[in-house]
Amino acid sequence: MTWEDEFKKNITTVEDLAEFVDISRAEKTRIQRIIDRHPMSVTRYYASLIDWNDPEDPLKKMTIPSEGELDIAGIYDQSGEQQSTKLPGLQHKYTRTVLLLTTNMCTTYCRYCFRKRLVGRPTDETIHRLGDAVIYISAHPEVNNVLLSGGDPLCLPTRTLRRFLEKLSEIDHLDFIRIGTKVPVTMPQRITEDGELYELLKETSVRKKRLYVSTQFNHPNEITPAARRSINRLHRAGIVTNNQTVLLRGVNDNPETMSKLQRELTGMGIVPYYVFQCRPVKRVKKLFQIPLARGFEILEKSRSLLDGYSKRYRYVMSHRDGKIAVAGVDKEYFYFRFHQARNPKNDGKFFKMKFDPDAAWLDDLRPA
C-alpha cells in the first residue's frame, strides 16, 4: 500500500474515532463542533501508538480534539506571520532565511498547532507561484537558506517537492535548504517505503544543496522502531536532522519526560535544537500553555539530567519581534536574549522584564 493510500485511511470523522473509544452522543456533538472549525486527521500508524484506555495519554492529547479547544482566548497569528509575508506563501522575517508555506496539509493535525488558522482549512496563505518566489529569493543575495514549511512539505506529491528542490537548488547564494516536517513522527513509512523520495532527497543533499530536516518529536512514546528507521534513512540520504519540541501542558511538562526525549533523540543522531514555548494561539493557549517560570524550571532540571550533547536545545518564544530565548529567571526578573530578531539591530540583545509567576508569553510581562 502506498503512503497516499494509507493517508486516505486517516481518522477524520467522529465515526472513525468511535472505532477506538466509546463516545456518547453529547460528546459526538461537541467533537463535531470542534472538527467543523479545525479538522481532525490522524494516521492509523500514530493512532496505534495511543493507549486509548488512558485518559492522560500524551499522544492522544496532541491529536484528538477535546473540549478545551472551545476556549477562544488568544489570537491566531501570534508570530506576526502576516507582517512577514512578502508574496502569497513567502515570509521573510529574518534577514538570511526565507520561509515558504508549501501546503496547508499535514499527515496528522496537531491540536496545539500554531498555524491552526490555515492547516487543513481553506486558505490563500500558501504559495501560489513558485516562479515568483524564486525571483524574490534570487533578488535577495543576503538570503542564504530557505525553509520549506506548511503544513507539511512531505505531504506534497514527490513530483511537486522535486520542483521546489530543483528550482531552489539553482539559486547560487543559497547554502542549504531546510524542510520542517512531522512525517518521521506521524507517517514514517512515507520516508522508508518511497524510493523515489529517497533518491530525490539524496540527489539534492549530496550533489546540489545540503538538506536539513527539522523534526518535531514531543514525547518519547513517538520514538518507535519505524520512526528510527525513517531517521536512519534521512541520514543515509545525506540529510542533517534537528529537532524542535513544543513544551505542552500534560504532554511533556516534566523534567523526566523531557530529558528522556532529548537523550533518545541525540542517540538517534538528531540534534536537539529548540524547545518552543507554546504560543498563545486561540483554542490552544488555555489547553496547552504553561507559565514561563515553570517552563524554565522544567528545562533546567531536564538539563541537569543530561550530557552536554543532549542539552543543546534552546528554550525560545517565537514572538512577532523575533526568536527570544529565555536566558534566566530570579525572584525579581526574567532575562531574555534575542536569538533572531525581526529588527536586525536587536540581534543578540539582552533585556529583562519584571517577574510574574503566571506569565506565559512576553506580552504578559511588564518592563523592568
Amino acid (one-letter) located at 147: L
Query: Given the complex with ligand SF4, which of 39 and 291 has the nearer CB atom?
Result: 39
Tell me the C-alpha distance between 204 and 33, whole Å.
Answer: 43
Query: Given the complex with ligand SF4, which of 182 and 209 has the nearer CB atom?
Result: 182
Only segment of 44-52, 74-82, 91-99, 108-116 that touches ligand SF4 (CB under 6 A): 108-116
Task: Please pick, from the candidates 77, 81, 125, 152, the single residue that binds ligand SF4 as defined by CB under 6 A.
Answer: 152
350 forms bridges with which residues in the sheet?
337
Task: Please pick, from the candidates 11, 42, 101, 106, the single residue that binds ligand SF4 as defined by CB under 6 A.
Answer: 106
Task: Please pick, from the candidates 47, 119, 261, 360, the single residue that binds ligand SF4 as defined by CB under 6 A.
Answer: 119
243 forms bridges with which residues in the sheet?
215, 272
Q: What is the CA radius of gyration of the chain?
A: 20
Query: Given the complex with ligand SF4, which of 219 and 303 has the nearer CB atom?
Result: 219
Residues in 227-286 that interact with ligand SF4 by CB under 6 A: none
b/e for 49-74, b at 16 or more Cβ within 10 A?
bbeeeeeebbbbbbbbbeebbeeeeb
Query: Given the complex with ligand SF4, which of 39 and 80 has the nearer CB atom?
Result: 39
Residue 77 binds to ligand SF4 (criterion: CB under 6 A): no
Residue 110 binds to ligand SF4 (criterion: CB under 6 A): yes
| CA dihedral over 66, 286, 218, 251, signed as positive or negative | negative
Residue 336 binds to ligand SF4 (criterion: CB under 6 A): no
Q: Of the candidates 22, 25, 57, which has an alpha carbon nearest to the alpha carbon of residue 248?
A: 57
Amino acid (one-letter) located at 18: A
Residue 81 binds to ligand SF4 (criterion: CB under 6 A): no
Task: Give me the 181-200 binding string for ligand SF4, x by CB under 6 A, dash otherwise.
Answer: -x------------------
What's the min distance (Å) between Cβ of 182 and ligand SF4? 4
Tell me the C-alpha distance between 11 and 274, whole Å.
Answer: 30
Only segment of 3-11, 44-52, 106-114, 358-366 that touches ligand SF4 (CB under 6 A): 106-114
Query: Given the complex with ligand SF4, which of 110 and 227 has the nearer CB atom?
Result: 110
Only segment of 1-9, 51-59, 103-111, 291-299 that touches ligand SF4 (CB under 6 A): 103-111
Distance of CA 35 to the CA centre of its chain: 21
Answer yes or no: are the C-beta atoms of 364 and 339 closer than 8 Å: no
What's the min distance (Å) between Cβ of 64 and ligand SF4? 13
Task: Please pick, from the candidates 45, 46, 109, 274, the single residue that binds ligand SF4 as defined by CB under 6 A.
Answer: 109
What's the min distance (Å) between Cβ of 151 and ligand SF4? 6
Query: Given the complex with ligand SF4, which of 3 and 109 has the nearer CB atom?
Result: 109
Query: Given the complex with ligand SF4, which of 149 and 266 has the nearer CB atom?
Result: 149
What's the min distance (Å) between Cβ of 10 and ligand SF4? 13
Task: Please pick, from the candidates 58, 65, 89, 151, the single residue that binds ligand SF4 as defined by CB under 6 A.
Answer: 151
Q: Of the candidates 271, 205, 207, which has an alpha carbon nearest to the alpha carbon of residue 233?
A: 205
Where do contacts with ligand SF4 occur on this chain (CB under 6 A)? 106, 109-110, 113, 115, 119, 150-152, 182
